[in-house]
Homo-oligomer: A and B are copies of this chain.
Amino acid sequence: MMKELHVQTSTHPYTIHIDEKIRFRLKDYLVETYSSIFIITDDTIAPLYLQGVMDNLQHESIHYDIIPSGEASKNIETYYRLQTKLMEAQLDRKSLIIALGGGVIGDIAGFVAATFMRGIDYVQVPTTILSHDSSVGGKVAINHELGKNMIGCFYPPKAVIYDITTLHTLPAHEVRSGYAELIKEAYIYDEAFLQELFTCNLQNINNLPLIDHLYQGIAIKANIVEQDEKESNIRMFLNFGHTLAHAIEASLGYGKITHGEAVAIGMLFALYISEKKYQTPLQLQTYYDWLKRNGYQTTLPAIPIDQIIQLMKLDKKAQFGTIQMVLLEKIGKPLIVPMTENEIADYLRSFKEEWNIS
């Protein structure tokens, strides 16, 4: 049951292909002829899928590099070392980079492609559920010690080839991470999708619903991104749950909690504020129960509140000193609300009291 989505960007359109075992047909989805192909992957993914992809491509000039898996690899040293590898492999402007892996691989390989000789083509072959999110929008980046994704640019891939059979080997926390972003997309855009996800048991998802959930999540994101490629406006809705999540990730150290699990807590908090502020029912309890049932962490890590606030202010979306929160007026109706430090600190305190029931 192959699904396809066409994404429009300011530079070029591209297609996201979602199917079982599609990694063995990769070659069919490359739209151009390339002088060389360079695969960037990590040491978790390489033993599982690298050989299969190489065998399918059958290119006379094919190269690869395997980086350590995990967020810590998204740094300037790895970035520069990859650039060196591309030059040593004599890649030219007609070469292709394949990002084979999850979000970390997509981000760093995409940023390498964006800046190698001022930009060459790349395609994404995502191997996590979470990376459905980064398969649209063209955001590529590496981390800086002072902030996540602080160095990067907008550079969409030429194609995304999503082989959902690679997702069944994911550890449980990676499944949770990916589904938290699907929940986010549902919350800001599509109540019916949200109800469908709430019935879903993450310990046991079949291929058909998985393809469908990814498709719906990607479609929502594509819709929003196409309307606002440069994140000045409605694209910020996608940050629902993310302001607090980034602060949690930064203070714990990246990789201590998955991105999606941090977002899950961030959404709890954003829903909490929204219900209070707008006196509107947002299924906070249903969402909380779903998180518990599926093994998510639901308590705020033990970080001092003023430290959380400082980290929230470092967020890239902060402007002129205030913190931009994405809240919900109702399900499917997000809005951006600039809030002061004090206001957020107060909400954090009452949230901890009322919902920090682990």
Establish whether residues B35 and A153, one from each chain, have CB atoms under 8 Å apart when the complex forms: no
CB distance from A344 to the nearest CB of B (A): 17
**A 140-169 binary contact with B (CB < 8 Å = 1; else 0):** 010011110111111100000000000000
User: Which listed residue, B80, B151, B317, B319, touches A116 by the CB 8 Å rule?
Assistant: B151
Interface check A72, CB cutoff 8 A: no
**A 92-118 binary contact with B (CB < 8 Å = 1; else 0):** 111000000000000000000011111
Residue of B nearest to A86 (CB): B150
CB distance from A45 to the nearest CB of B (A): 25
User: Which listed residue, B10, B144, B320, touches A35 by the CB 8 Å rule?
Assistant: B320
Interface check A44, CB cutoff 8 A: no
Please classify how large the interface on chain A is, using the bins under 10, 10 to 19, 20 to 34, 35 or more: 35 or more
Copies in the complex: 2
Chain B residues contacting A316 (CB-CB under 8 Å) are 92-93, 117-118
User: Which listed residue, B11, B83, B141, B149, touches A150 by the CB 8 Å rule?
Assistant: B83
Q: Tell me, in angstroms, the Cα distance from A88 to B88 when the chains sit together.
A: 35
Q: Tell me, in angstroms, the Cα distance from A347 to B264 when the chains sit together.
A: 66
Interface check A119, CB cutoff 8 A: yes
Q: Tell me, in angstroms, the Cα distance from A155 to B318 when the chains sit together.
A: 23
Establish whether residues B83 and A115, one from each chain, have CB atoms under 8 Å apart when the complex forms: no
Residue of B nearest to A232 (CB): B93
Assuming A84-B144, A118-B153, what are 15 further A-B pairs, CB within 8 angstroms?
A: A76-B80, A80-B144, A83-B150, A83-B151, A84-B145, A84-B146, A92-B319, A115-B115, A116-B150, A116-B151, A117-B316, A118-B141, A118-B149, A119-B154, A153-B155
Interface residues of A (CB under 8 A from B): 10-11, 35, 76, 80, 83-84, 87-88, 92-94, 114-119, 139, 141, 144-147, 149-155, 231, 316-320
